[in-house]
Amino acid sequence: MSELPLAPIRRIIDNAGAKRVATDGIKALAEALEEYGASVADKAVKICRHVGRKTVKAGDIKISA
């Protein structure tokens, strides 16, 4: 189960132009976004540690995405 709330995910799909959205579609996108986010966060932490910091900054996230 995803940790992300489903309402904002539904709005993302709606804003993309969908006329109707099934609940399983919302959940699938939430899971995909969570997996992608975890991957980006992992890379950002590695960058942060590599440069000798403990704090992940916006630049680390941008480089990792």
Ordered by where they begin, the domains of the chain are 6-64 (1.10.20.10)
Residue 4's identity, in one-letter code, is: L
pLDDT of 2 = 76
The tally of CA atoms less than 13 A away on the side-chain side of residue 65 is 8
Query: pTM for the whole thing?
Result: 0.85
Find out whether 9 and 29 touch, Cβ atoms under 8 Å.
yes
pLDDT in tens, 23-60: 999 999 999 999 999 999 999 999 999 999 999 999 99
Please identify which residue in the block is written with the tokens 């480089």. 63
Residue 2's identity, in one-letter code, is: S
Q: What is the DSSP letter of 59?
A: H
pLDDT of 1 = 67
